[in-house]
Every structure is written in structure tokens, then in C-alpha cells.
Amino acid sequence: MSIATAETDPFDALDAADSAFTRRAWADAAPARVYELVSDVSATDRWSPSADHVAFDPGAGPWVGAWFSGRDRRNGKEWTSRSQIVQADPGAAFGFVVGGAENGIVR
């Protein structure tokens, strides 16, 4: 059995406080319209000050199991992430997990 160290496990070297943040928005619109807006991941850069170039994989869309990629920039850092849709209930809820449903790190 081996023990993970900062050299073998990149998460050990991360300070989550550097990347933690929450965004909230209130929309004066019907739930179906809000769902239409948030499930269009290519529009994420309109809502997020750090997201850029977000797009579904070819042939994918806003349904459970679909994947998309995006680039983020914050505090002088830039990274690309892959996300998987985990909830798609039109007019009610849309959710995704950065890193995928099985091994994700952010919901």
C-alpha cells in the first residue's frame, strides 16, 4: 500500500480557499425560461465572470450524461475543465458536476 503525498496527489498541494466562491442570481422570469437560459452551457460566460468558451461535446446537449468543456480564469490563473450533466428537469432543475458524475469535485 502506498500513501499519497503532495508529489503524487495534486489535490494535497491545493489550497481550496483560493478557489472557493459562490454566485447567486435572481431572475424575474418563468421557470421554463430560466431553465432554457441556464441549460445552454455555451451562454455560461454571460453569467459567470470567470467562465469562457463553454461548449457541449459534439452531438451532446442538455441531457443527463452529456459532457461539456469550458475554460475559466480567476486571480491570474487559467484552467480548462470537463463537466457532466447530472440533472436535467426542464423548468425545474439543471445540474452538472465538474469532473463527471463518478469522480467530480464541484456540483
Ordered mean pLDDT values, 10 residues apiece, the chain (107 residues): 53 64 80 93 87 93 96 90 95 92 84
Q: How far apart are CA 97 and CA 91, in angstroms?
A: 19
Write down the pLDDT at residue 69. 95
The residues facing 51 across adjacent strands are: 72
Write down the pLDDT at residue 14. 62
CATH superfamily of the domain spanning 27-98:
START domain (3.30.530.20)
Q: Please give the model's pTM, rounded to 2 decimal places.
A: 0.74
Nearest CA among 66, 74, 78, 76 for reference residue 42: 66
Which grid cell sits at 16?
A: 481550496
Amino acid occupying residue 12:
D
Write down the pLDDT at residue 24. 76
Query: Structural domain boundaries of the chain?
Result: 27-98
